[in-house]
């Protein structure tokens, strides 16, 4: 077992532990919620507080996931080199990181507005609770998707101080998008989940049917992105972005077959980053041109 890292040497391991680069999945959608809620640019203070809240909340969720799953990760060949089972970080270190992330999240929510602070515990329960759902339900993918989907709604609340129906289609679009690609990712662990008594759609209904559910999720995501743009008064450029996202999701689905998972990482990591950044880019240009 490796020696636990300390000091600045641990920073890279912390960032790897929480998959910091995956913040790119949700943050662009949160920026859409911020932009539509504010009717444009909300100011640097609000922008930076939203980014701080999003990153700290996600960091807390990922740290909790690594703590909750440390025993399972240790026996899964795909995850046994994660920080805790590999001994790169001590459990105490990850707990301290978790508590610090939660504290930063609450401070950011407090500085935004009263409703953000009131709803902050709810957001934490959702994003951290996902880590436990695989132990008792195959709907865990949808819990993960919803933990991502609350990002745009949270950013809307952060800029307006209230929740409005106009942002809800984007919330559920991200929910179905996230559930769809998490189902794809979980295909890799079908046999392991069955052996360990864990739950997932592939473990429950098999790879082929799980992929069919994933495709339905992505169809719903595209439809809800379009409907959300309609409610927000978006113009042509935004809907071109929705078509762009739809094309990427079609390609993503084409990469993975029940008997060929060799391109799961391309489908999961690369293409979904392009989806979120792409739709935000089109939404931003659309907003600027209006």
pLDDT tens digits, 74-129: 998 888 888 888 888 889 989 999 999 999 999 999 999 999 999 999 999 999 99
Question: Is residue 279 within a helix (H) or strand (E), and if so which, with residue range?
Answer: helix 271-289
pLDDT band (50, 70, 90) for residue 176: very high
Query: What's the count of helices (H) and strands (E) in the chain, helices before strands?
Result: 14, 0
SS3 260: strand
**Is residue 261 pLDDT above 70, yes or no?**
yes
* pLDDT at residue 60, rounded to an integer: 93
Question: Is residue 94 within a helix (H) or strand (E), and if so which, with residue range?
Answer: helix 91-112
* pLDDT at residue 9, rounded to an integer: 61
* pLDDT at residue 1, rounded to an integer: 47
* pLDDT at residue 83, rounded to an integer: 83
Task: Flag the least confident range among 38-52, 82-96, 117-131, 163-177.
Answer: 82-96
**Is residue 5 pLDDT above 80, yes or no?**
no
**CA distances from residue 8 to 1, 12, 84, 91, 221 in whole angstroms, order as listed:** 20, 8, 17, 17, 40
Task: Flag the least confident range among 2-16, 197-211, 243-257.
Answer: 2-16
* pLDDT at residue 18, rounded to an integer: 66
* pLDDT at residue 80, rounded to an integer: 86
Q: Which residues pair with 257 in a beta bridge?
A: 260
Contact 252, 176 (CB under 8 A): no
* pLDDT at residue 183, rounded to an integer: 96
Q: Which residues pair with 282 in a beta bridge?
A: none
* pLDDT at residue 253, rounded to an integer: 94
Q: How far is CA 261 from the centre of its chain?
A: 22
Find all residues with CB under 8 Å of 41, minimum gap 6, and list them.
35, 47
Task: Flag the least confident range among 53-57, 62-66, 84-88, 272-276.
Answer: 84-88
Find all residues with CB under 8 Å of 202, minimum gap 6, and list them.
183, 186, 187, 189, 190, 193, 210
Find all residues with CB under 8 Å of 97, minimum gap 6, and list them.
14, 59, 63
Contact 241, 286 (CB under 8 A): yes
**At the topology level of CATH, where does 22-289 sit?**
Tetracycline Repressor; domain 2 (1.10.357)
Average pLDDT over residues 51-70: 92
Q: Which residues pair with 260 in a beta bridge?
A: 257
Top-confidence residue, 90 or 156: 156
- pTM of the full structure: 0.92
């Amino acid at each position: 077992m490796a020696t636990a890292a300390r000091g600045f040497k641990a920073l890279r391991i912390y960032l790897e532990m929480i998959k910091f680069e995956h913040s790119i999945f949700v943050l662009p959608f949160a920026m859409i919620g911020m932009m539509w809620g504010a009717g444009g640019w909300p100011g640097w203070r609000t922008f930076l507080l939203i980014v701080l809240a999003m990153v700290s909340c996600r960091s807390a969720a990922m740290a909790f996931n690594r703590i909750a799953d440390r025993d399972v990760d240790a026996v899964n060949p795909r995850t046994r080199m994660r920080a805790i089972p590999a001994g790169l970080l001590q459990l105490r270190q990850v707990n301290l990181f978790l508590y610090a992330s939660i504290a930063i999240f609450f401070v950011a929510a407090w500085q935004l507005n009263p409703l953000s602070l009131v709803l902050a515990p709810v957001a934490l329960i959702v994003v951290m609770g996902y880590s436990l759902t695989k132990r008792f339900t195959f709907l865990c993918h949808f819990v993960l998707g919803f933990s991502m989907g609350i990002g745009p709604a949270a950013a809307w609340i952060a800029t307006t101080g209230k929740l409005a129906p106009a942002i809800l289609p984007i919330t559920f679009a991200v929910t179905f998008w996230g559930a769809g690609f998490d189902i794809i990712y979980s295909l890799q662990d079908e046999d392991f989940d069955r052996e360990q008594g864990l739950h997932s759609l592939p473990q429950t209904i098999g790879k082929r049917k799980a992929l069919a559910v994933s495709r339905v999720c992505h169809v719903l995501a595209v439809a809800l992105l379009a409907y959300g743009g309609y409610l927000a008064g978006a113009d042509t450029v935004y809907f071109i972005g929705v078509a762009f996202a739809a094309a990427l999701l079609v390609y993503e689905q084409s990469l993975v077959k029940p008997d060929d998972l060799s391109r799961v990482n391309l489908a999961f990591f690369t293409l979904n980053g392009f989806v979120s950044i792409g739709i935000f880019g089109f939404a931003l240009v659309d907003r600027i041109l209006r």
